[in-house]
Structure 1
Amino acid sequence: MEVTLYSDGSSRGNPGPGGYGTILRYTAPSGAVHEKELSAGFSCTTNNRMELLGCIVGLEALKRPCTVTVYSDSQYLVNAFNQNWVAGWLKRGWKNSQKQPVKNVDLWKRLLAAKEPHTVKFVWVKGHAGHPENERCDELATIAADNPACHQKDKGFKE
């Protein structure tokens, strides 16, 4: 089963209120296209946390192992896999190349667990450049960030 996952994150201030937006798309053998949108807002978080969480919730929504292509405008997310940053972090006990603790370890660990059953490829897209799905994810993320009535607490974020 091949799935396309688009995701984006947003925060109003860094840190500040934030949200993510995710689109999952699957084309059935019959040609029917199935699409699901996911989003949520948080009272205080960072843009990078929302970029990661958008991808995580998309992968966690999949009910069986899939081949997934993730499209994101977050170089933080995409380069972590395409430039093997994660492998280095793991080898160094979640320390970066400067021997400092990796930020957002809670989400990186959750992402690795969510990714585990799948074959995942990461593709960077330029943000705010007219890519329809990226623009829609940005819209979902900013709507969630701007709606305090729906905000959750980002339990992993430490102010």
Structure 2
Amino acid sequence: MPRAPRLPQEGPSIFDSLLPEPEKLAPEEAPSRTLIVEGDGGSRGNPGPAAYGALVRDAATGEVLNSEGLTLGVTTNNVAEYSALVAGLEMAHAIDPHAAVDVRLDSKLVIEQMAGRWKVKHPAMKPLFDKARRLAPAAVTWTWVPREQNKAADALVNAALDGHPRPRH
């Protein structure tokens, strides 16, 4: 005998109490500004000589407010990607600790881990993941971008690896 179609549930579920409460900002705490963090990491060999590049843009104007490209010594590409994220979040916090932040990286691994969809399994990345979590504001979005849309951060990586590092100001 055919069953009647299931109707959507109204009201709370018995499982709702198992989910963490989403962080909500009071209206007076809502960010008045959005910053864009762009980052990239790379190594020549994996592991190999590595560097990261990170920059912060004003979302309204596109103006680069700060940037950094530094070497890391010999490490993996993924550690370099996380180092770029940490540097970008530090710079964004220094510019405006109350701003919303849109993080844009070409590392699918870092974006998916930071968004909570993938687990962090490699022990060398856990401290960087934890540091990035602490630095990320409540109003953060995690956006994967194709490599072609991450050229400014990639240029900082390659400049650092070629002996032309750029410290943040």
Per the normalisation by structure 1, the TM-score is: 0.72
Which of 4, 7, 14 in structure 1 is aligned with 2:46? 14
Q: How many angstroms does 1:143 deviate by?
A: 1.7
Query: Following the alignment from structure 1 to structure 2, what is the Cα–Cα distance between the partners of residues 6 and 125?
Result: 10
Amino acid across the alignment from 1:123:
T
Query: Following the alignment from structure 1 to structure 2, what is the Cα–Cα distance between the partners of residues 121 and 74?
Result: 14
Give percent identity, aligned residues only. 28
Give 2:135's aligned residue.
114
Task: Tell me if the contact between 1:16 and 1:45 (Cα under 8 Å) persists in the aligned partners.
Answer: yes
Task: Tell me if the contact between 2:89 and 2:135 (Cα under 8 Å) persists in the aligned partners.
Answer: yes
Task: Tell me if the contact between 2:40 and 2:154 (Cα under 8 Å) persists in the aligned partners.
Answer: yes
Task: Tell me if the contact between 1:23 and 1:38 (Cα under 8 Å) persists in the aligned partners.
Answer: yes
Q: Which runs of 5+ in 1 are unaligned?
A: 90-95, 151-159
Whose RCO is larger (CA < 8 A, sep 6+)? 1
Bigger Cα Rg = 2
Number of matched pairs: 130
C-alpha distance after superposition, 1:89-141 (max 9, x if no partner): 6xxxxxx4xxxx654111111111111x44211111111x3x2xx11211111
Relative to its length, the structure with more strand (as a share) is 1
Name the CA shift for 1:79/1:113 in 2 (closer, same or farther; >3 Å).
same
Query: Following the alignment from structure 1 to structure 2, what is the Cα–Cα distance between the partners of residues 49 and 36?
Result: 22
Give 1:105's aligned residue.
126
Q: Which moved more, 1:101-110 or 1:14-23?
A: 101-110
Name the CA shift for 1:55/1:84 in 2 (closer, same or farther; >3 Å).
same
Query: Following the alignment from structure 2 to structure 1, what is the Cα–Cα distance between the partners of residues 75 and 40?
Result: 14
Q: How many angstroms does 1:83 deviate by?
A: 5.1
Query: Following the alignment from structure 2 to structure 1, what is the Cα–Cα distance between the partners of residues 59 and 162?
Result: 32
Per the normalisation by structure 2, the TM-score is: 0.68
Structure 1 moving runs of 4+ over 4 Å: none
Give 2:106's aligned residue.
73
Q: Tell me the secondary structure at the aligned position of residue 109 of structure 2.
A: helix
Query: Following the alignment from structure 1 to structure 2, what is the Cα–Cα distance between the partners of residues 34 and 49?
Result: 24
Task: Tell me if the contact between 1:18 and 1:142 (Cα under 8 Å) persists in the aligned partners.
Answer: no
